[in-house]
Structure 1
Amino acid sequence: TLLGELNIALNQHLPFTMGWLPNSESAEQYDLDLDLMSGVLNVKHISSGITYHRSMFISHPAQVMCIRYTSDSPKAINMDIILNRIGISEATTMDPRRPGRRVSAGGWPAPRVDSIRNIDERTMLMRGNDAGVEFAAAVRVVCDGEIENPVSQLVTKECSEVILYLASATSNRVKDPVADVIQRLDAAEKRGFDALRVEHIRDFTSLMNRCVLQLGSNLSEKYTDQRIAAVRAGKNDPGLAALYFQLGRYLIVSGGREGSSALNLQGIWNHQFTPMWDSKYTININLQMNYWPVEVTNLSELHMPLMELLEKMHERGRDTAQVMYGMRGMVCHHNTDFYGDCAPQDWYMAAMPWITGSAWLGLHVWEHYLYTKDVNILKRMYPVLRDMVLFYQDFLIEVDGKLVTCPSVSPENRYVLPDGYDTPICVGPTMDNQILREFFTACIKIQELLGVDQELSAALAEMIPRLPENKIGSKGQLLEWDQEYPELTPGHSHLSHLFACHPGCSINWRDTPDLMQAVRKSLEIRAAHGGAEGGWPLAWHINMYARLLDGEQTDKCIREMLARSAARNLLNARGVFQIDGNLGAAAGIAECLLQSHLALHFLPALPATWQNGSVTGLRARGARTVDLRWESGNLIEAIVRPDFDGEIEVVGKPLKVTCGTVEIPVQITDIGFSFYGESGKSYRLTTLN
């Protein structure tokens, strides 16, 4: 019986597998417990009357996976350990001489591997070269029983405890992958499992404990699949939404630490050599959605892998702009990869020609600054942003007095022409206009902060009013194109033309209430035609309705996500696993609790089913940390801790503000009130008596 199989991404999206095959009867009574806060997985099962325990974690400080296998009966652990790059069921076959055991399914080396060999009596090494990238993975066995080492596997016998250390590396990260993995295994064995576990938990919880959400009663004694089934049956389980929120944060921490690659369509969790959409970076929504939660849920430094990807894209994007368009600056199209390729990808005309994704990614730099006030990131990334601006200056053309992108597409959507033919190609789609308006505005602010490029700033200020304005159609909807065309797919999954509502903010309840109503109508049309049935599209709807301050609809979408898109382990797997659904929904849950694009807005879209709860450690624009507690749907208290001195504006009726025992004066504003906050101090906001 196969009792363990692990798939890890090599070279960003290609898998290898380690399997352990205990020599026992079929297992039963499995109990799997993943602690999201500590990042430790514990598994218990019973086989032949013996209870086995497995504890696993991946240490970021030590860069090793650690697995400890124990049993409640002495000398009961017998296992075969195999390394491969394909699933164990594919790499092995049943052994006719030993019922229940497996042997290699063919000659070694195995597929897609140059060699798999035992380099000593306790260490197995797999190495190879894939598309010019050298890779290595090794496993070290430490046990209290016997170890046999037949070719290309390790066999333990009569053990009471088996510890496995696993490390992997590629040549695009280290010079010598083999030497690197062996060095890490040596260091891990020297330190030992317990010490590594303590270090791992300290490291992991330092990120996870920053932000904690509590909703309703604790139902953790029930299995997750049981809770999902109950939600599907119409039961209310706010705590499952809180768990889903923390799972999103867990996936970011586990898959996107500093120094790693940016999270792709599957994050880093892929078991196929030809995954859906090649497990790439798709930058017409998916890559950006992956990073929506990082700032607001207090994982700001985990935005850095995206910044590093942008820097990789910079040089290649300059080449693409010059060679393909004969223009200045840099440009990318709808897909990129580990190396930052910016050339058009594939032949999908509804997506391939789109050139505004680079500006959307550039806005992530500005968002990171807004949440941190870190001027250094602006200095570091400004050369990239400047080259983006230069390209758009050259690319935009004037049509009827307006500056428009041409040719372009509204990502992956098509409209019907008067002659009955459909096409994606268009002039100045609404999304392009919205993104460029917000991007140019952000660049002007960055130039002012850095004291650079006054002439370019003036040019941008002149260009912004010449971008086409948003238009409302005959149904009250926001138009997606420059004219009101029939849509080929009214239930299209993308909400491209609603960008300015979310993740943008130039359409908002304060400044553009008429456009907010048009956004709502557009969402209703999409949903009525099946455009919000699950996955990342539904996650986008959650965020949109939160910006519309509609707790009822956000609640409906969140419950729909849990009921229809969550697998037994809560990964977003409606049809095909994509990580963006998990991460986008986590961001949407945060948007229900705190918004800050206009001012601090506490519980702006709180679902009625979340009657009681609390959240600590949310982050707001302006570099502020916010804790909230509410009962019966009403705010009881908010704690605001600013990183910098300055005026803090809050939406809504005035609240009592205290710092320690001192009451702080407030000023009434057009949308609420404000008070002056000082760095390092904590301010408590409560209802007035």
Structure 2
Amino acid sequence: MEEQKHYIHREPAMRWEDGIPLGNGFLGAMVYGHTSKEKIQLNEDSLWYGKGQDRINPKAAEHLKEIQQLVLQQKFAEAEDLMFSYMVSAPFNMRNYSTMGELDLAMNQKNPFAMGWFPESDGENYISDLDMENGILNISHTDQGISYKREMFVSYPDNVICIRLKSSEPKAMRLDIALNRYPFTDRKVPDDRRPGKFVSAGVWGSTRYDRLTIEEDKRILLEAHEAETTFAMGAEVYTDGKLENAGSRLIALDAQEVVIYLTGVTDNRVENCPETVREILKKAVLQGYDAIRERHRNDFSAYMKRCGLSLEEDPEASRYFTYGRYLIVSAGREHSSPMNLQGIWNYQFEPSWDSKYTININEQMNYWPVEVCNLSELHEPVFEQLKKMQKTGEEAARKMYGCRGMMAHHNTDYYGDCGTQDMYSAATFWQCGGAWLGLHIWEHYRYTLDKKFLKEYYPILDDLALFFVDFLIEDPEGYLVTCPSVSPENRFITEEGYDTPICAGPTMDNQIIRALMRAVLEGAEILQEKNPHEAEYRKILKSLRPNGIDSQGRIMEWAKEEKELTPDMGHVSHLWAAFPGDEINWKDTPEYLAAARKSVEVRRASGCNTIGWPGAWQISLFARFLDGKMAGEVIHHMLYEGLGKSWLNVDPVFQIDGNLGLLSGMAECLLQSHLGIHFLPALPPEWKNGTVRGLKARGGAEISETWKDGKLKQAIVKPMHDGVQKFIGKAPLKAETEEKEVFWEVLEDGYEIRMEKGKVYQLIF
């Protein structure tokens, strides 16, 4: 029973979505893996079309009270008409993430990049081996008795993509190397001139760059722009053969080894993009390939080695657990942008949903696994993003709603735009996106107990809470409600037959606001600071509508029982308090947990999606229901039926949220800590024998577990702080450190042990 650390492919990809993703948070590469003509698509995380915009509709605030009154009077059509007139931003779209371009390679080919060329392979004995622990891809094949090997990785310490190609015989390689940037397509048709080969069926030509030069006969430099955003990327080549400057590309001749260093930057980070590219490449060359490789391996593996899963009966699930963590380490690092809808990988100039940050589920799901899977530092890009959003969020609160504090709607972009996005009422007019994202600050604190961190980011939590002091209004029943709002992204049908998403005080809003107020109040106590708005926050907590249960036994999604327009809706927004929140739980609110389960069952029976991010959310919910059987069924369905050839979530296009939500759900089955440390709370029955190491629990502890025949046998606890740790469930037979046996105090629902930082506690069951 071993952890699965390698991901093997026996054939190259024919579609971008089936490629192998590499990255360091700043640079991304999607590798097809072909041997004759290869296309490696490239990204830089700060390459967004254009610059930040002030899009807020200046008429919103003056029409807000009229809209609110119409909503409270249930005159939804009239309210929507005003909202579409005065609350839509101008322009109504934020900026979009874009592609940097591509690196094209051709091995022993004549005229390889003729119009319409398509990636292709020759030879035999092909194998592609992604070493996920070290973040290194190796591709090998043989052709006419000669073996060829290609190694590739993306270094975070040196911010460079490195590729080394070798042949078993001297002078066996001619390698054409080109940088390009034009519309990218996987559509292909058979090449009548070459049986079994293909040519592109997409747009030919139409390059999108400003300048391409060959410098010093060894470096390709491409300069381009996306509206006002300018950038550059460069590739420097070294070989033991001859290097020819072909004007538009470099050609290595009579080579046994070729090394390529590649990087890219934008003016969102540096002033002189071409010069910065030259400097990065110069440093890489001075360091040398082997030194960069070793530094990269040490850096990448330091994250990957912390945590791992071994499953005797399902090694592919174990491999996927490694792959999910690999995606996080590759897509989002310290000081990079947060992972967007596609992580960091995007081949389009105008990608689906702009490949930006959708914050009514998607970005949050990307970061659900980072704490429990022992990658806490990689949560940092979200916190830096919130700092960037604070000014724009305060402007949105003031200009649109006449409120203090900060807020965001259901999307944001690289520049922290907090205005409304699109003209899709079921999503556009929602004010809790910033609050939900901000609660990641609180979750990070709960896992780390880092008071210095909490003190730094507490003002953002407070700013988010302050918005609701001014924004909430009283409804006819005396409850404080968000108005106008929506329950993302659902609609209901009124008694008059009108379908609308517009409402006051949807359940999700109440749940998020309650969690936010509690976090701000508890945070002030921890920091021993007096919050000047404490009384107002406590009033809000008392005045929000409590969760309700409808006539079918489900959690009510709106203030009163409504007929859903889409009962198969993938969003389960009204179950936020069951997961990722914890207000609804098996201990304190069992009747509401049962109602949450009923809600999921009705959605599934109505045909809701059980793959992608909706399926991933269901896994974590079933785990919170302590139902390992159902959680395991959804995991199996997603893993074996819901992912692409390279395990990317392609439902119907690539979105990384499904990948990382699946990882989160797997971890939630193995460990929960919202009510105390709960070992194997929802173990899927097909995972009979296994070991997981290095998970993290709230309260600051690292956890490892071993089980046999579905029963916990041993748990290892490494506390990061002195104090009492509470555990859920049956007490162990024995507990000890290296020095001595330790004892516990039995509680009604578990037991607790006083633990010391730095010691290792072994619990035998």
Is 2:678 the partner of 1:678? no
Q: How does 1:422-461 map to 2 (within 5 A)?
A: 422-461=499-538
Which TM-score applies when normalising by structure 2? Answer: 0.84
Letter in 2 for 1:181: V
d(CA) in 2 for partners of 1:26 and 1:513? Answer: 58
Is 2:414 the partner of 1:318? no
Structure 1 residue 129: Cα displacement: 2.2
Q: 1:304 — aligned with what?
A: 380
Q: Which ranges of structure 1 fall in alignment gaps of 5 or more residues?
A: 218-237
d(CA) in 2 for partners of 1:562 and 1:616? Answer: 21
Cα deviation code 1:424-448 (max 9, x no counterpart): 0011101001111111111100111
Q: How does 1:212-251 map to 2 (within 5 A)?
A: 212-216=308-312, 238-251=314-327
Q: 2:40 — aligned with what?
A: 5
Contact 2:241/2:255 (8 A) holds in 1: yes
Cα deviation code 1:326-375 (max 9, x no counterpart): 11111111110000000001101000010011111111000000111111
Distance 1:508 1:67, change over 3 A: same
Structure 1 residue 632: Cα displacement: 1.0
Instruction: From 718, 723, 726, give the equivalent of 1:641.
Output: 718
Which TM-score applies when normalising by structure 1? Answer: 0.93
Q: 1:668 — aligned with what?
A: 746
d(CA) in 2 for partners of 1:319 and 1:495? Answer: 30
Structure 1 residue 289: Cα displacement: 0.3
Is 2:222 the partner of 1:144? no
Distance 1:560 1:321, change over 3 A: same
Q: Which ranges of structure 2 fall in alignment gaps of 5 or more residues?
A: 1-35, 49-96, 110-119
Q: 1:575 — aligned with what?
A: 652
Q: 2:413 — aligned with what?
A: 337
Contact 2:188/2:198 (8 A) holds in 1: no
Contact 2:164/2:258 (8 A) holds in 1: yes
Is 2:599 the partner of 1:522? yes
d(CA) in 1 for partners of 2:633 and 2:199? Answer: 48
Structure 1 residue 577: Cα displacement: 0.5
Structure 1 residue 464: Cα displacement: 0.4
Structure 1 residue 117: Cα displacement: 1.1
Structure 1 residue 465: Cα displacement: 1.7
Structure 1 residue 88: Cα displacement: 7.3
Structure 1 residue 3: Cα displacement: 2.6
Q: 2:122 — aligned with what?
A: 27
Q: How does 1:266-665 map to 2 (within 5 A)?
A: 266-399=342-475, 400-655=477-732, 656-665=734-743
d(CA) in 2 for partners of 1:435 and 1:9? Answer: 33
Contact 2:613/2:657 (8 A) holds in 1: yes
Deviates more, 1:454-463 or 1:537-546: 454-463
Distance 1:559 1:247, change over 3 A: same
Cα deviation code 1:236-280 (max 9, x no counterpart): xx2211222221111110110001000000000110111100001
Q: 1:58 — aligned with what?
A: 154
Distance 1:672 1:50, change over 3 A: same
d(CA) in 1 for partners of 2:705 and 2:308? Answer: 11
d(CA) in 2 for partners of 1:98 and 1:23? Answer: 17
SS of the aligned residue for 2:654 comes to coil
Cα deviation code 1:436-481 (max 9, x no counterpart): 1111111100111223343412321222021101111111111111
Cα deviation code 1:392-430 (max 9, x no counterpart): 111101111111111100001101111112000011101
Is 2:209 the partner of 1:116? no
Deviates more, 1:153-162 or 1:536-545: 153-162
SS of the aligned residue for 2:278 comes to helix
Letter in 1 for 2:436: W
d(CA) in 2 for partners of 1:190 and 1:9? Answer: 23
Contact 2:184/2:348 (8 A) holds in 1: no
d(CA) in 2 for partners of 1:130 and 1:87? Answer: 13
Instruction: From 336, 357, 378, give the equivalent of 1:260.
Output: 336
Contact 2:123/2:144 (8 A) holds in 1: no
Contact 1:493/1:537 (8 A) holds in 2: yes
Distance 1:485 1:559, change over 3 A: same
Letter in 1 for 2:337: S
Q: 1:200 — aligned with what?
A: 296
Distance 1:153 1:478, change over 3 A: same
Cα deviation code 1:183-237 (max 9, x no counterpart): 11111111211111111111100000000111116xxxxxxxxxxxxxxxxxxxx
Q: 2:98 — aligned with what?
A: 14
d(CA) in 1 for partners of 2:123 and 2:424? Answer: 47
d(CA) in 2 for partners of 1:440 and 1:368? Answer: 17
d(CA) in 1 for partners of 2:150 and 2:225? Answer: 32
d(CA) in 2 for partners of 1:102 and 1:569? Answer: 23
d(CA) in 2 for partners of 1:89 and 1:278? Answer: 17
Contact 1:564/1:574 (8 A) holds in 2: no
Letter in 2 for 1:417: T
Letter in 2 for 1:676: R
d(CA) in 1 for partners of 2:186 and 2:692? Answer: 46
Contact 1:5/1:88 (8 A) holds in 2: no
Contact 1:403/1:466 (8 A) holds in 2: yes
Is 2:272 the partner of 1:176? yes
d(CA) in 1 for partners of 2:642 and 2:248? Answer: 40
Contact 2:676/2:727 (8 A) holds in 1: yes
Contact 1:473/1:484 (8 A) holds in 2: yes
d(CA) in 1 for partners of 2:282 and 2:491? Answer: 57
**Residue correspondences, number:** 665
Structure 1 residue 145: Cα displacement: 1.2
Letter in 1 for 2:458: Y
Contact 1:624/1:640 (8 A) holds in 2: yes
Distance 1:513 1:299, change over 3 A: same
d(CA) in 2 for partners of 1:93 and 1:175? Answer: 43
Q: Which has the higher contact order (CA 8 A, sep 6+)?
A: 2
d(CA) in 2 for partners of 1:626 and 1:302? Answer: 19
Contact 1:600/1:620 (8 A) holds in 2: yes
SS of the aligned residue for 2:753 comes to strand
d(CA) in 2 for partners of 1:457 and 1:623? Answer: 27
d(CA) in 1 for partners of 2:189 and 2:661? Answer: 40
Distance 1:378 1:673, change over 3 A: same
d(CA) in 2 for partners of 1:286 and 1:57? Answer: 27
Letter in 1 for 2:102: T
Identical counterparts, % of pairs: 47
d(CA) in 1 for partners of 2:184 and 2:286? Answer: 30
Structure 1 residue 116: Cα displacement: 1.1
Letter in 1 for 2:229: V
SS of the aligned residue for 1:213 comes to strand
d(CA) in 2 for partners of 1:83 and 1:524? Answer: 51
Structure 1 residue 96: Cα displacement: 13
d(CA) in 2 for partners of 1:379 and 1:524? Answer: 41
Structure 1 residue 385: Cα displacement: 1.6
Cα deviation code 1:474-513 (max 9, x no counterpart): 1111111111111111010101000000000000000000
d(CA) in 2 for partners of 1:189 and 1:467? Answer: 61
d(CA) in 2 for partners of 1:332 and 1:152? Answer: 46
Letter in 2 for 1:318: E
Distance 1:265 1:685, change over 3 A: same
Contact 1:412/1:494 (8 A) holds in 2: yes
